[in-house]
Amino acid sequence: MTTPYNIKIAPTAHHQIMSLSAKHQRLVIKLIEALAVNPRPPGAKKITGMTGLYSEQINNLRLVYKIEDQEILLLLVKS
């Protein structure tokens, strides 16, 4: 399956993902895979005042990412 968006994960976000429980890591990975297909799903919130920044929440986790051309940069994973 080809995805229209290339996903990059910032070092800080990678560290935050690795510090999560295995259950939460799986949730984040599923969400990242879904964002690669549709980076603006229902429920995603555009961060006002910041060009291309979005926030997506799953359970008690919040992902902050930037959409630029055909690339998504995951910046932050916060619980």
- CATH classification at residue 58: 3.30.2310.20
Query: Is residue 1 in some structural domain?
Result: no
Tell me the average pLDDT across 9-25.
95
Tell me the pTM.
Answer: 0.87
Query: Is residue 23 in some structural domain?
Result: yes
pLDDT band at 58 (very low <50, low <70, confident <90, very high): confident
Residue identified by tokens 């429920």 is 43
Query: Is residue 20 in some structural domain?
Result: yes
Tell me the average pLDDT across 20-36.
93
pLDDT > 90 fraction of the chain, expressed in percent and rounded: 73
Element counts in the chain: helices (H) and strands (E): 2, 5
Q: Domain limits at 60?
A: 6-78
- The residues pairing with 77 across neighbouring beta strands, listed in sequence order, are 63
Structurally, the chain folds into a number of domains equal to 1
For 44-72, letters b (16+ CB in 10 Å) and e give beeeeeeeebbbbeeeebebbbbbeeeeb
